[in-house]
Amino acid sequence: MVNNKALIFKNTLAHAFAWLSAILIMGAFMLLIADIVWHGTQQLSWAFLTQAPSNAGREGGIGPIIVSTLLILGICIATVLPLGLSAAIYLAEFTDDSKFHNRLIRRTLDILASVPSIVIGLFGNAFFSVTLGLGFSILAGGLTLACMVLPIFIRTAEDGIRAIPQSYRQNAISLGLSKLTTLKHIILPMAIPTISIALVLGVGRALAETAALIFTSGYVDRMPESIMDSGRALSIHIYDLAMNVPGGNNNAYASALILLLLLLSINLFTHAINRYYIKSKYQS
C-alpha cells in the first residue's frame, strides 16, 4: 500500500512537472508572439508590403525584400527536394548499419546538421560566391541555405521512410513488384507526411537564417532583376533595422510579423496538402 501511494505521488509529480513545463514554454512563446503582433500591426499596410525601403529602412516598405526572400527560398527548396529525397531513399532502402561507410554517412549528416550557420555561410561565400564566381547573389544564398537544410531534411525523411513496416515491402516482393515500383506506389506515398515535415523544418530554419546569407546573398534592398542579383532576405532586414538603424524598430517589428505569417502560411499550406492527399488516397 505504501509503495502504491509513493508510485501515485511520483506519477502525479511527474504529470504536474510536465504540465508546468508545457505552460511555461507556451507562455514564453505567446508573449513573444503577442509583442511582435502588437508592435508589428501598427506599421502593417498594403504600401508596406509593396513599396521599397527608404531612409535606410526607417520608411517605405519591404516589397523587394519579400521578393528576394521568396527567390532564395525557392532555390533552396528546388535544390533540397531532389537531392535530399534521393539521399534519404538510398540511406533508408539500400543501406544498413552493418557497413562502416553507411554509418559514417549518417554520423556525418548528424554533424553537418549541427554546424553553426556562420560556418555554413563562410563555406558558401568561399565556394559559391568566390570559387564558382556567383558573387553576392540570390543564387549563392539559396544554394548555401540548401547546404544547411539538406542534412536535416535527409535524416528526417530517412526516418520516415524507415518507419514504413517491413511487411509492406515483403508483401510487394511476394506479389512480384520491383523495388522501384514498391518505392513509387507504396513506400513514398505512405512517407509523404514525414517528408513534408522534414521540408517544413528545413524551410523554417532557412527563413530565419541571417548569418549564412550575409556572406552570400548580400545586403542590397532593391528589387532583384534576376537570381544573379544581390538580394536582402527578411531575416537580414530585421537584423539590420534592429541593430544598425536608429529608429528602425517599428519597421523591424512589422518585418518580423511578415516573416512569422510567411512561415505560418507555409506550415498551413503543407498541412492542407497532406490532409488532401491522405483523404484522396486512402478515403476515396
Concatenated DSSP letters of 122-135 = HHHIIIIIIIS---
Identify the pLDDT of residue 172: 84
What single DSSP character describes residue 226? S
Identify the pLDDT of residue 258: 92
Cβ 183 vs Cβ 260: under 8 Å: no
Identify the pLDDT of residue 21: 92
Identify the pLDDT of residue 182: 86
pTM reported for the whole predicted model: 0.87
Identify the pLDDT of residue 185: 83
Cβ 157 vs Cβ 86: under 8 Å: no
Identify the pLDDT of residue 30: 92
- Give SS3 for 50: helix
What single DSSP character describes residue 224? P
Q: Measuring CA to CA, which residue among 198, 180, 199 is closest to residue 93?
A: 180
Identify the pLDDT of residue 284: 53
As given in the structure block, the three cell numbers for residue 64 are 523587394
Identify the pLDDT of residue 281: 65
User: How confident is the prediction along the chain (284 residues), in pLDDT tens digits per residue?
Assistant: 446 777 887 888 888 999 999 999 999 989 989 999 998 888 888 889 889 898 888 888 899 999 999 999 999 999 999 999 999 999 988 887 778 888 888 889 989 888 888 899 999 999 999 999 998 999 999 999 999 999 999 999 998 898 888 888 888 888 888 888 888 888 888 888 888 888 888 888 888 888 889 899 988 888 998 899 998 999 999 988 988 888 888 899 999 999 999 888 888 888 887 777 777 766 65
Q: Measuring CA to CA, which residue among 76, 43, 28, 27 is closest to residue 258?
A: 43
Cβ 73 vs Cβ 262: under 8 Å: no
Indicate the fold that domain 46-282 takes in CATH. MetI-like fold (1.10.3720)
Q: Measuring CA to CA, which residue among 281, 88, 36, 40 is closest to residue 202?
A: 88
Beta bridge partners of 59: 54
Q: Which amino acid, 232?
A: R
